Amino acid sequence: MVRKDSFTSLSGLIYPPIIIQRQRNPSSSSSALVMFLSVLLILMLLLLPPCHATTACNQDDHDSLLFLSYHLSSSSPLNWDPSTDCCLWEGVGCDGTADGRVTSLSLPFRDLNGTLAPSLVNLTSLTHLNLSHNRLYGSLPVGFFSSLRSLQVLDLSDNRLDGEIPSLDTSNPIPVKIVDLSSNHFNGELSQSNSFLLTAWNLSRLNVSNNSFAGQIPSSICNISSASMTLLDFSSNDFSGNLAPGFGECSKLEVFRAGFNNLSGMIPDDLYKATSLVHFSLPVNYLTGQISDAVVNLTNLKVLELYSNQLDGRIPRDIGKLSKLEQLMLHINWLTGPLPPSLTNCSKLVKLNLRVNFLAGNLSDFDFSTLRKLSTLDLGNNNFTGTFPTSLYSCTSLVAIRLASNQIEGQILPDILALRSLSFLSISANNLTNITGAIRILMGCKNLTTLILSNNTMSEGILDDGNTSDSTGFQNLQVLALGRCKLSGQVPSWLANISSLQVLDLSYNQIRGSIPGWLDNLLNLFYLDLSNNLLSGEFPLELTGLQTLSSQQVIKKLDKSYLELPVFVMPTNATNLQYNQLSSLPPAIYLGSNNLSGSIPVQIGQLKFLHVLDLSDNKFSGNIPDELSNLTNLEKLDLSGNRLSGEIPTSLKGLHFLSSFSVANNDLQGPIPSGGQFDTFPNSSFIGNQWLCGQVLQRSCFGSPGTNHSSAPRKSTNIKLVIGLVIGICFGTGLFIALLALWILSKRRIIPGADTDNTELDTISIDSGFPPEGDKDASLVVLFPSNTNEIKDLTISELLKATDNFNQANIVGCGGFGLVYKATLGDGSKLAVKKLSGDLGMMEREFRAEVEALSTAQHENLVSLQGYCVHGGCRLLLYSFMDNGSLDYWLHEKTDGASQLDWPTRLEIARGAGCGLAYMHQICEPHIHMRSEGKQEEVFDLLLRGKGFDDEMLQVLDVACICVSQNPFKRPTIKEVVDCLKNVGSHRNENKD
């Protein structure tokens, strides 16, 4: 193969004459040597065959590559000069023949953005193609495998390519050996009769992981490539059904991965015939049955991953025959029985994870001492008994131990200090005793970062007894959880020495005294749980100075490293509801269920990065500070069960992320704020406040909370009298209005073709969607302070008049959720009113909360939302009116509109729309994400075809196709869409320059 750096120009050279000069006093031996070398050089030069300076690139291949480059862009463009030999181009390799055919194209990690042009299949001599780790999108060209019949190595991994794999139109074998299509958006089935896999006789490595392939996994591939196959990776797709027999025929198969799919049924015994397997992985499926004893035939196995399935029965008795095993991951299944004694023979074991099963037996009887390389041991959430196994102290390589949620008894012994590498230790939810003694011992574990001893209720002790004051202990500790351990005393002062502490849980104990002010010296602390204790005193002002909850700079400096073992919300879940990084935990302060008193300090508004604040069931008094509205990231606020008075600050409506709120059982009064998230909270959030009023409590705010009720019996008679008078007056008034209406109707004439501006508003047409009942003038439209029309007040009646009772003549658009009407107000200003159809799956309060959040979005590429109205089940959105009409109007309704929108204009519109969406997703607070994806059936406008923009339109279409991928995890972020659109037309702009 000829490379660009291996060309040497020899032909056409004029060799200079070799002049041999006799020295004045040469020795005979030197003269003979010089003569011999000179003659030898002449002979060599004469014998060299004439050679061209380069092997000229095949013209067809040159043109095909050049056309391919037109579909690609990059931050650092390719140096493919059309006037030079393509064999000299970056990433291009040619053969050494006179034909100069291109045999390799290798451009990985080049930030290439675009599609694979059809011309790619013209490179019929291509043997190696590597375009991995770029930003390519779209489908593979038609005839990809049929045309590239010399292809041996194909690597298109880590792109955004989609569609089905092109089929073959021949049954002749193809020479491909390595295929890597991983981390793309490919879909369809691989088991089709015309799949390229059926003729890939020499295939040795196939990786299609992290795509959207469906159907059955093709086991027949091992009948075709049985002698050469070494790797098969089908993981992270949508494959379903049973694993069919056949994979055992791959006698040289070393890696088989098919995890994170929807596979069901039993693991076929046929697989255990593939005795060369080193890595066997089928996690996160729906596999059932027992793990066959035949698994011990895989004597070369190093990794066995079968976690998160529905496997039952016992761990194979002779699993110790897998002497090369390094990782055994069988967690989250239905396995029963004890640990098989033969497991001690797996002396190379590094990771052993059996958590969340039904395993049992006396753990202290198992001899761990032979597992000297064991680094991670997770036996949590089982039914093991006995004491903490002393044989574990011999496993000096241990970094992480979890024995949580078992029935372990006894104490932690000083021998644990032999585990010098120990970083993670969780023995929560067991029956350990002497927790305070364990703390004193564990202070000597200098590398310990996570210590979880919570929920050991058999223990009792005093946290700060004066014997736990090692100033050098726990210097690397980040997580300390001692909740529900029957600990007493005060918050221990030795905690002040743990400068690295980020998470502290002392909940559900019997801790007394006040909350120490020195907690603010813990510069990394962002999660504090002191709830359900006997703490007293006031909320310490020092706590409002926690830097991790008030300073963005400190938050950025927090340790972002991964935990040795995840911390779970639900331990039975293998893929989510778990925290692998401490930085993912929600910043929180839990002080509920204590005896704290005094007022809530206004300085609490400094903790603007706090997500959870729980002060419930204490004795706090005074008003709810308005400064709480500064906690813009707050998701949960619980102030229930206190003695708070005054009103609920209306400014709390600005907490757009607030999903849980309670002020129940206080002494609050006045109206409950409406709008924002407050329209989503149930009445249980406000009960127990007899002077609170509002719709959610079905309690009118008419009257004063200070009304004297001692004279209620005397006033009852007066109330009855007033009610009687009101009823009489209403009856008389109603009779008079009815007679008057009959008289008006008798005088009224129906004038055909009358001016629609004179339509009376005493009835509303069925088409309008409004019920006839209700006082329309009293129903105000909610207008946001940011509305640009400077409209102060607007009623339903005015809105109906402005739209001519939602007359069809005023329809200016039709969206996915309803019609859009033009509204011309009395002062001549205009609004666009969208009348939503259906209930959109939202309660009224959810609708209001989401709309008010949407009103915060202000961007030059977004139509401004001016207000909204919910009236009688009908929902209206008010937008600024765009005088030039909608894009749909210009493209499909305006007679000459489409012809006036050339491609550069349309591309600019697409870029603007992308910027607007990116603002909503990433910059606007709160972030706003679209709930649905639209689709457009008409793709290419005939008016634009043949105008030189077809390639650019294809690129935009490919971006659109990626956005509506069936797999939501494969869709690009809006920022990626914006970046893609920026690159479209870049060549055109460069040419202009």
Question: What domains can you pick out in the chain, each with its CATH number?
Answer: 74-215 (3.80.10.10), 487-697 (3.80.10.10), 770-880 (3.30.200.20), 895-934+941-992 (no CATH)
Burial 872-888 (b: 16+ CB within 10 A, else e): eebbbbbbbbeeeebbe
- The DSSP output letter for 978 is H
Q: Is 264 helix (H, G, I), strand (E, B) or coil?
A: strand
Q: Which two tokens stand for residue 931?
A: 């709930």
Most confident of 566-570, 666-670, 764-768, 898-902: 666-670
What number is the average pLDDT over the span 783-811? 72
Dihedral, 229, 235, 240, 242 alpha carbons, nearest 10: 50
pLDDT class for 51, splitting at 50, 70, 90?
very low
In angstroms, what CA-CA distances link 420 with 220, 375, 398, 448, 874?
Answer: 50, 12, 8, 9, 68
- Residue pair 102/93 in contact (Cβ under 8 Å)? The answer is yes
Q: Cβ contacts of residue 757 below 8 Å, gap of 6+?
A: 804
Average per-residue pLDDT in the chain? Answer: 79
- State the pLDDT at residue 551: 83
| Pair 231, 254: CB distance under 8 Å | yes
Hey, which of 168-172, 724-728, 850-854 has the most confident mean pLDDT?
168-172
**Burial category of 530 from C-beta neighbours within 10 Å (exposed 0-12, middle 13-18, buried 19 and up):** buried
Residue 822 has pLDDT above 90, yes or no: no
Q: 215 — alpha (psi -120 to 50), left (phi > 0) or beta?
A: left
Whether a cis peptide bond, with omega within 30° of 0, leads into 926 is yes
Question: Between 203 and 227, where is the model more confident?
Answer: 203
Q: Which is more confident, 393 or 780?
A: 393
pLDDT of residue 866: 76
Phi and psi angles of residue 131, each rounded to the nearest 5 degrees, phi first = -120, 30
**Of 880 and 105, more confident:** 105
Q: Residue 896's pLDDT is what?
A: 62
Q: In what order do the strands lie in the sheet with 830-836?
A: 782-783, 865-871, 874-880, 830-836, 818-824, 811-815
What's residue 14's pLDDT?
32
Say if residue 204's pLDDT is above 80. Answer: yes
Is pLDDT above 80 for 478? yes
Q: β-strands 409-410, 431-432: how paired?
A: parallel
What distance in Å separates the CA atoms of residue 662 and residue 676, rounded to the nearest whole number?
15
Calpha distance 834→276 (Å, rounded): 65
- Tokens read off for 412: 């932690």
> Is the pLDDT at 856 greater than 80, yes or no?
no
The arithmetic mean of pLDDT across residues 556-562, rounded, is: 73
pLDDT at 459 (0 to 100): 64
pLDDT band, residue 799 (cuts 50/70/90) = confident
Average pLDDT over residues 776-782: 53
Decide: helix, strand or coil at residue 196: helix
> What pLDDT score was predicted for residue 935?
34
C-beta atoms surrounding 775 within 10 Å: 9
Predicted TM-score of the model (pTM) = 0.67
Lowest mean pLDDT among 68-72, 164-168, 468-472, 863-867: 468-472
Interatomic CA distance for residues 222 and 548, integer angstroms? 56
CA-CA distance, 567 to 422, in Å (whole number)?
A: 17
**Quick one: pLDDT at residue 696?**
86
Choose among 643, 689, 633, 680: nearest CA to 661: 680
For helices 903-918 and 950-963, angle between their N-to-C axes, nearest 10 degrees: 30
Q: Give me the residues paired with residue 461 across strands.
A: 487
> Which range (213-222, 589-598, 901-910) has the least confidence?
901-910
Give the pLDDT confidence of 911-947 residue by residue, as tens digits. 777 666 665 555 555 555 444 333 333 344 545 555 6
Q: What is the mean pLDDT of residues 183-202?
A: 85
- What's the whole-number mean pLDDT along residues 434-440? 89
pLDDT of residue 916: 65
Residue 987 pLDDT more than 60?
no
Task: Write out the two tokens for 447.
Answer: 């590398």
Band the pLDDT of 25: cuts 50, 70, 90: very low
The reported pLDDT for the residue numbered 38 is 52
Instruction: Write the CA distances from 480 to 25, 503, 506, integer angstroms.
Output: 92, 6, 8
Strands (E), 508-591: 510-511, 527-529, 536-538, 562-568, 578-581, 588-590
- SS3 at position 160: strand
pLDDT winner (highest mean) among 115-119, 548-552, 884-888: 115-119
Is 90 exceeded by the pLDDT of residue 160? Answer: yes
| Pair 326, 302: CB distance under 8 Å | yes
| Three state DSSP letters for 630-680 | HCCCCCEEECCCCEEEECCCHHHHHCCCCCEEECCCCEEEEECCCCHHHHH
Quickly tell me which residue has 């956005």 as its tokens.
963
Phi-psi sector, 220: left (phi>0), alpha (psi -120 to 50), beta: alpha
Contact 636, 659 (CB under 8 A): yes
Decide if 531 contacts 508 (C-beta within 8 A).
yes
| Least confident interval from 113-127, 243-257, 659-673, 903-917 | 903-917
Identify which of 501-515, 748-762, 918-932, 962-976 has the greatest average pLDDT.
501-515
Distance CA 62, CA 835 (A): 58
Angle, helices 903-918/974-983, rounded to nearest 10 degrees: 160
DSSP 3-state helix, strand, coil percentages of the chain (rounded to 5)?
30, 20, 50
Report pLDDT digits (tens) over 405-429.
999 999 999 999 999 999 999 999 9
What pLDDT sits at residue 697? Answer: 86
Q: What is the spatial distance between Cα 576 and Cα 569, in angstroms, rounded to a whole number?
A: 9
703 to each of 670, 725, 726, 766, how far by Cα in Å?
10, 20, 18, 38
How many other CB atoms sit within 10 Å of the CB of residue 332?
25
Taking residues 457-470, report their average pLDDT: 66
- Above 50 in pLDDT, residue 815? yes
Dihedral over alpha carbons 65, 70, 73, 79 (to 10 degrees): 50
Pairwise pLDDT comparison (231 vs 553), residue with the higher score: 231
Which residues are CB-contacts of 327 (< 8 A; sequence separation ≥ 6)? 302, 303, 304, 305, 349, 350, 351
Higher pLDDT, 278 or 839: 278
Please give the backbone phi and psi of residue 488, each rounded to the nearest 5 degrees, phi first.
Answer: -125, -175
- The alpha-carbon radius of gyration of the chain (Å, integer) is 38
Please state which of the ranges 176-185, 260-269, 656-665, 751-760 shows the lowest mean pLDDT: 751-760
Widest distance between CA atoms in the chain: 148
pLDDT of residue 495: 92
Determine which of 168-182, 318-332, 671-685, 901-915 has the lowest per-residue pLDDT on average: 901-915
Residue 975, marked binder:
no
pLDDT of 964 higher than 70: no
Q: In this predicted structure, which of 19-23, 77-81, 538-542, 615-619 has the lowest mean pLDDT?
A: 19-23
DSSP string, 895-939: TTHHHHS-HHHHHHHHHHHHHHHHIIIIISSS----S-----S--
Whole-number pLDDT of residue 855:
62
Q: Is 748 exposed, middle or buried (0-12, 13-18, 19+ CB in 10 A)?
A: exposed
User: Is pLDDT of 820 > 50?
Assistant: yes
Q: How confident is the model at residue 564 (pLDDT cuts 50, 70, 90)?
A: confident
Q: What is the mean pLDDT of residues 301-309?
A: 96
Q: How far is CA 235 from the centre of its chain?
A: 19
User: How far apart (Å, rounded) are the C-alpha atoms in residues 895 and 889?
Assistant: 9
CA distance 4 to 79: 13
Percent of the chain whose pLDDT exceeds 70: 70
Among 37-46, 49-58, 437-446, where is mean pLDDT lowest? Answer: 37-46
| Core vs surface per residue 892-923: b (16+ CB within 10 A) or e | eeeeeebeebebeebbeebbbbbbbbbbbbee
Model pLDDT for residues 504-548, shown as the tens digit of each residue: 999 999 999 999 999 999 989 999 999 999 999 999 999 999 988
More confident residue, 654 or 891: 654
* pLDDT of the residue at 879: 81
Mean pLDDT for the stretch of residues 614-621: 96
Q: Is the pLDDT of residue 861 over 60?
A: yes
Q: Over 60: is that where the pLDDT of 18 sits? A: no
Q: Is residue 5 very low, low, confident or very high in pLDDT (cuts 50, 70, 90)?
A: very low
Which DSSP state fits 761? S
